[in-house]
Amino acid sequence: MKKSILGLLVLSGLLMADFVRDDVKDVVNDTTTCLMWQDDNASKSVTKTWQESIDYCEAMDFAGYADWRLPNFNELYSIGDRSKVNPAIKDAFVNVSSSNYWSSTTRVNATYLAWYVHFYYGDDDYNHKIDNRYVRCVRDGQ
Looking at residue 92, its amino acid is A
Domain regions of the chain by residue span = 2-140
| pLDDT digit string, tens, across residues 21-41 | 999 999 999 999 999 999 999
Is the model's pTM score more than 0.85?
yes
| pLDDT digit string, tens, across residues 110-130 | 999 999 999 999 999 999 999
Q: Which fold has domain 2-140?
A: Mannose-Binding Protein A; Chain A (3.10.100)
